[in-house]
């Protein structure tokens, strides 16, 4: 115990999902907040500091939303354990603030009754009072406090001064903080929950007039957005714009970043330094950092869209619309957006799986996200297709090259669906599938401040978390491709003397059935840094100078050196292979361990091997040599 370090009282925010807890947290702490992970789990830990009007320094912790302390997911377990003071790594909260949406009190009141049983001081903050008032919901705070037996204040997180009453109440509560009483909370059974909800309904009738009407604006929007057909059409349109944005709008920025790093690398290359240090700086460090940062525009754009949709309340609707369609393959409705994003890049896609509450559904989605054809595969596909697949039409109107490209995309999607189906049936068989049950919150206009916070938090989390792992992998790949150095008077390209080449030769017996020669094996190693790097690596290995038309020249060289079966097998390999160190690093960070990264790596490698093997053998048998 490090007693002397920090004795600021801890205030925990607990509430139902969609109660505006995070908006309140942002309003209270402003920019003095940080996001970390709870040890051993992937649950985000949101901490912030604030000073009360009386000058008291407080630590505020924003706990994952829940309907009950009877935890059903890792997120909710964290909420339960922190509230009960059971988490050894965390200071137990001195005060629990039960945050409730004033326009949707019923379920929050039952949670508040449950929180009363944990033996710690509890108060209630009625958030979004402005919305409740506008909708004609009248709440008597005095009666509510009396009937509930808890101090109650109102707050409007999104308005300046909207948290004054809460801040004053925090001071008042912390002044007279009673000792924590013995916790009487036990996981309630159905009878206990039922009687608690009855009690909550009694409190609601006593203190609130007019509670139950559906928000008219929400009703009007839902009539269109949840329309069985119209809703799906609109969802697809939204997703199309989003996909387009991640794919196309990010491109100029990504090119700018990549050019910037190339320029920096070129600048470093002119420095009067020993060759090996120059190469480390240029090809290891700068290229490595660049390959991470280049994803930033996609991540920022994707998370901007996701947060807007989430804050609007649309995300739950998207899950509603997609549930049945995704459910056939054993995926959750919410997996749709992460998987779609993975067409641009699996990294933002995997990060976006955070919208899936259930851990199993989330892991399944993470597992299959790298099978979606990401943009980094396109240069490799293009190179091989344009070199080996004749540019002619089939059935009179379909281009054969385009058809092969489509086939590669379809294989990825088909494999993702099949793998998730298998994972759901066999991996998770031990317990019943999570039912689809979620609240459809009222639509709300997103707050610019919370959007900016949200995007900035994702971006910095990506740079910090992925950056360290990805960078170290990049350096490892550079070491493999650079050492040992070529001997004096070497005639072949430097990489042919490196460890990568040694590995390439060593695994030749293993890859021979796939039709891969050692040159391909060698190119696959720097290709781990980013899939498209394999194109440049092939150029290096076959000694083709970079420059105008280099890709065409590489294509010609490959055509003269490889049989068609090998080219097709390499395409098949690329559909499945875990050929991206960054993706693996992100999986490790997002799942909180090596296990899931290893699982992904192994199953993709096995699939890739089998696919390439079958492709090569069948193509040979059919005479494609």
Partner 1 sequence: MTLPATIALGDARVGFRGRITALDLSRAPAAGLEPPELERRLIELGFVEGASVELLHQGLFGGDPIAVRVAATTIALRRREAMAVVVTDRP
Binding site for partner 1 (CB under 8 A): 67-68, 70, 72, 103-107, 110, 188-190, 193-194, 197-198, 201, 211-214, 218, 222, 226-229, 232, 316, 319-321, 323-325, 432-441
- C-alpha 134/C-alpha 138 separation (Å) is 10
The secondary element (H helix, E strand) that includes residue 139 is: strand 138-139
Helix (H, G, I), strand (E, B) or coil at 44: strand
Which lies closer to partner 1 via its Cβ, residue 186 or residue 213? 213
Residue 572: count other Cβ atoms within 10 Å of its Cβ.
24
Partnered with residue 45 across adjacent β-strands are 36
- C-alpha 235/C-alpha 331 separation (Å) is 18
Query: What sections of 208-249 are H helices per DSSP?
Result: 216-225, 230-244
- Backbone φ/ψ region at 223: left (φ over 0), alpha (ψ -120 to 50), beta: alpha
Which lies closer to partner 1 via its Cβ, residue 320 or residue 462? 320
Q: How far is the CB of 426 from partner 1 (least distance, A)?
A: 17
Instruction: Mention every residue, 6+ apart, whose C-beta is less than 8 A from residue 239.
Output: 336, 337, 340
Q: How far is the CB of 216 from partner 1 (least distance, A)?
A: 13
Q: How far is the CB of 224 from partner 1 (least distance, A)?
A: 11
Q: How far is the CB of 92 from partner 1 (least distance, A)?
A: 24
Q: How far is the CB of 95 from partner 1 (least distance, A)?
A: 24
Which lies closer to partner 1 via its Cβ, residue 378 or residue 440? 440
Q: How far is the CB of 11 from partner 1 (least distance, A)?
A: 25
- C-alpha 565/C-alpha 623 separation (Å) is 9
Instruction: Mention every residue, 6+ apart, whose C-beta is less than 8 A from residue 298.
Output: 246, 250, 254, 344, 345, 347, 348
CA 532 vs CA 353, 377, 584: distances in Å = 25, 6, 16
- Backbone φ/ψ region at 389: left (φ over 0), alpha (ψ -120 to 50), beta: beta
DSSP structure class, residue 411: H
CA 408 vs CA 208, 322, 375, 385, 558: distances in Å = 59, 24, 13, 11, 20
Check if the beta carbon of residue 320 is closer than 8 Å to that of residue 268.
no
Which lies closer to partner 1 via its Cβ, residue 105 or residue 416? 105
Q: Which residues of 77-96 are buried (b: 16+ CB within 10 A; e: fewer)?
A: bbbbbbbbbebeebbbbbbb
Q: What are phi and psi of 45, to 5 degrees?
A: -110, 115
Closest CA to 68 of 23, 29, 115: 115
Q: How far is the CB of 193 from partner 1 (least distance, A)?
A: 4
Q: How far is the CB of 232 from partner 1 (least distance, A)?
A: 6
Which lies closer to partner 1 via its Cβ, residue 205 or residue 464? 205
Which lies closer to partner 1 via its Cβ, residue 216 or residue 435? 435
Query: What sections of 30-128 are H helices per DSSP?
Result: 74-83, 106-115
Which lies closer to partner 1 via its Cβ, residue 441 or residue 578? 441
Which lies closer to partner 1 via its Cβ, residue 320 or residue 516? 320
- C-alpha 521/C-alpha 534 separation (Å) is 10
User: What is the dihedral sign for C-alpha 583, 585, 591, 595?
Assistant: positive
Which lies closer to partner 1 via its Cβ, residue 12 or residue 102? 102
Which lies closer to partner 1 via its Cβ, residue 117 or residue 617? 117
Q: How far is the CB of 364 from partner 1 (least distance, A)?
A: 15
Q: How far is the CB of 106 from partner 1 (least distance, A)?
A: 5
Which lies closer to partner 1 via its Cβ, residue 332 or residue 458? 332
Q: How far is the CB of 354 from partner 1 (least distance, A)?
A: 20
Which lies closer to partner 1 via its Cβ, residue 197 or residue 375? 197
Q: How far is the CB of 330 from partner 1 (least distance, A)?
A: 12
- CA 139 to chain centroid: 39
The secondary element (H helix, E strand) that includes residue 86 is: none
Instruction: Mention every residue, 6+ apart, whose C-beta is less than 8 A from residue 144.
Output: 124, 126, 152, 203, 206, 207, 208
């Amino acid at each position: 115990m490090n007693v002397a370090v920090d004795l600021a009282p801890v205030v925990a925010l607990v509430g139902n999902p969609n109660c505006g807890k995070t908006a309140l947290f942002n309003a209270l702490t402003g920019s003095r907040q940080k996001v970390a992970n709870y040890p051993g789990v992937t649950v985000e830990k949101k901490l912030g500091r604030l000073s009360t009007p009386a000058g008291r320094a407080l630590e505020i912790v924003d706990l994952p939303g829940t309907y009950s302390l009877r935890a059903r997911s890792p997120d909710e377990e964290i909420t339960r354990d922190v509230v009960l003071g059971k988490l050894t790594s965390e200071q137990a909260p001195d005060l629990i603030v039960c945050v409730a949406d004033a326009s949707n009190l019923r379920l929050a009141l039952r949670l508040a009754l449950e929180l009363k049983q944990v033996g710690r001081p509890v108060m209630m903050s009625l958030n979004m009072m402005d919305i409740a008032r506008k909708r004609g919901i009248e709440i008597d705070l005095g009666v509510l406090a009396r009937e509930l037996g808890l101090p109650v204040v109102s707050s409007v997180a999104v308005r300046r001064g909207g948290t004054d009453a809460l801040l004053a109440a925090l001071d008042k509560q912390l002044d007279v903080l009673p000792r924590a009483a013995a916790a009487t909370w036990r996981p309630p059974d159905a009878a206990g929950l039922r009687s608690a909800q009855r009690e909550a309904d009694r409190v609601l009738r006593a203190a609130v007039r007019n509670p139950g009407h559906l928000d008219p604006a929400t009703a009007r929007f839902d009539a269109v957005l949840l329309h069985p057909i119209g809703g799906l059409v609109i969802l697809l349109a939204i997703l199309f714009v989003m996909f387009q944005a991640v794919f196309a709008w990010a491109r100029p920025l990504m090119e700018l970043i990549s050019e910037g790093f190339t320029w920096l690398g070129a600048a470093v290359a002119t420095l009067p330094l020993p060759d090996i240090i120059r190469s480390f700086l240029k090809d290891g460090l700068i290229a490595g950092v660049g390959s991470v940062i280049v994803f930033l525009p996609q991540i920022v754009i994707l998370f901007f869209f996701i947060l807007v949709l989430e804050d609007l309340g649309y995300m739950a609707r998207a899950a509603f619309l997609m549930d049945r369609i995704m459910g056939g393959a054993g995926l959750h409705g919410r997996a749709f957006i992460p998987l779609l994003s993975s067409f641009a890049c699996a990294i933002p896609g995997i990060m976006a799986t955070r919208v899936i509450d259930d851990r199993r559904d989330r892991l399944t989605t993470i597992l299959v996200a790298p099978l979606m054809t990401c943009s980094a595969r396109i240069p490799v596909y293009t190179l091989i297709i344009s070199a080996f697949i004749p540019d002619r039409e089939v059935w009179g109107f379909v281009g054969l090259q385009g058809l092969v490209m489509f086939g590669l995309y379809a294989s990825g999607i088909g494999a993702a669906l099949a793998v998730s189906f298998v994972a759901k049936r066999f991996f998770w068989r031990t317990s019943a599938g999570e039912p689809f049950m979620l609240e459809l919150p009222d639509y709300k206009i997103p707050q610019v401040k919370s959007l900016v916070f949200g995007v900035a938090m994702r971006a910095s989390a990506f740079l910090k978390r992925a950056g360290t792992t990805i960078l170290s992998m990049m350096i490892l790949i550079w070491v493999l491709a650079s050492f040992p150095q070529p001997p004096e008077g070497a005639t072949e390209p430097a990489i042919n003397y490196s460890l990568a080449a040694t590995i390439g030769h060593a695994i030749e017996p293993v890859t021979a059935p796939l039709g891969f020669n050692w040159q391909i094996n060698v190119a696959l190693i720097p290709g781990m840094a980013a899939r498209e790097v394999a194109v440049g690596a092939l150029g290096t290995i076959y000694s083709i100078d970079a420059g105008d038309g280099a890709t065409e020249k590489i294509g010609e060289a490959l055509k003269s050196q490889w049989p068609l079966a090998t080219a097709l097998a390499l395409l098949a390999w690329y559909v499945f292979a875990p050929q991206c160190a960054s993706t693996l690093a992100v999986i490790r960070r997002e799942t909180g361990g090596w296990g899931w990264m290893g699982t992904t790596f192994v199953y993709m490698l096995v699939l890739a091997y089998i696919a390439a093997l079958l492709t090569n053998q069948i193509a040979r048998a059919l005479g494609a040599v």
